[in-house]
Amino acid sequence: MHDITFYYDPISPYAYLAFERLPEALMGHSVQLRYKPVLFAALLKANGQLGPAEIAGKRDWTYRQVSWLAHHHGVPLDLPAAHPFNPLALLRLGLAAATDDAPGETNRYVTGQLFHHVWRGGQSATDATRLGALQALLQDHMAQRHKPWPDAQWPDSETVKQRLRANTDEALALGLFGVPALVVNGHVFWGFDALPMLRAYLDGDAWFASGAWDVAARLPAGVARR
C-alpha cells in the first residue's frame, strides 16, 4: 500500500482539478490518501514568489487554462465571483471538521465541500452567508458520524489555527513551494499535470529507478538573478 499525502489550498483551481481526477489517477492501486490543507500564500511568501493570479497576463491565462482543462477532462468548474481571495476561513472550517485521530487532515467529503464551495456555482467564496451554510453542512456531517463539533474546535479557535500552522510548517519543511503537491515515499509531485507522472511512479516505471530523479536536483545553476 502506498501512503500519499495531498497538500492543498481550495484557492487553487489546479488543486481542485487534481482532487477531482485523483480517483482515476490512482485506480487499481492500494493507497492510503491523506488530505492536508495548507496556506498557499505562506508557501509563496517563504519562497519569494507571487501566485499566478497576482501576475498580470499570467492571471488571465490561468483562468483560461483551468477553464479549458476542466472542459477537456469533464470536470465541472465555474470561476468564483472574485479571485484571488483570502482562504483562511475555508481552511479553518475544514480543519475544524477534522477528527481527533487525524487532527491535521480533512476527509474526502470535507475536502470536496471546500473545493466545491469555491469552484462550483460562480459565487463569492468569502460570502458570510455561504460560509455559514458550509459550516452547518460540515457540522451535520460530523453529527452523522457521531462526532459532534467540540467547543474547543470552532474554526476561529486556537486549536484549529495551530493545526493550519502545523500543516503549513510541515509542507515548508518538505520543501513544498505550491499546491497541489502530492508526496509519496519522499517524492514530491507538484501540480495537476503531475498526475500522469505520479501514476507512472505507482506503476513502477523504470525511469524512477534510473537515477534521473536525483540527477535533476544536482543540475548546477548557471546564473542567479538578484
CATH of the domain at 194: 3.40.30.10
- 7 falls within a domain: yes
Report yes or no on 63 lying in a domain: yes
For the segment 32-48, what is each residue's pLDDT rounded down to a tens digit? 999 999 999 999 999 99
Contact 135, 93 (CB under 8 A): yes
The amino acid present at 203, given as its one-letter code, is D
Length of the chain in residues, anyone? 226
The total number of structural domains in the chain stands at 1
Q: Domain residues for 85?
A: 2-217
Please indicate, yes or no, if residue 159 is contained in any of the structural domains. Answer: yes
The whole-number pLDDT of residue 151 equals 66
Strand pairing partners for 183?
Answer: 5, 188
Q: Which residues contact 167 (CB under 8 A, 6 or more apart)?
A: 7, 36, 37, 38, 95, 104
Compute the C-alpha angle 96/94/66, nearest 5°: 170
- C-alpha to C-alpha distance for 105 and 5, rounded to whole angstroms: 10
The cell 480543519 sits on which residue?
95
Asked whether residue 222 is domain-assigned, the answer is no
Q: Tell me which residues of the chain have a pLDDT lower than 70.
A: 146, 150-152
Supply the pLDDT for residue 145: 74
User: Would you call the peptide bond into 13 cis, given omega within 30 degrees of 0 as the criterion?
Assistant: no
| Domain annotation covers residue 226 | no
Query: How many whole angstroms separate alpha carbon 160 and alpha carbon 19?
Result: 23
Report the pLDDT value the prediction gives residue 153, as an integer from 0 to 100: 72
In a domain, 224, yes or no: no
Q: Note whether residue 78 is domain-resident.
A: yes
Shortest CA distance to 145 belongs to which of 104, 93, 112, 110? 110
pLDDT digits (tens, 9 = 90+) for 126-166: 999 999 999 999 999 888 876 777 666 788 889 999 999 99
CA distances from 124 to 37, 95, 104, 119, 200 (A): 20, 21, 26, 10, 37
Residue 41: inside a domain, yes or no? yes
Closest CA to 12 of 101, 83, 73: 83
Tell me what pLDDT residue 183 has.
98
Residue 96 bridge partners (DSSP): none
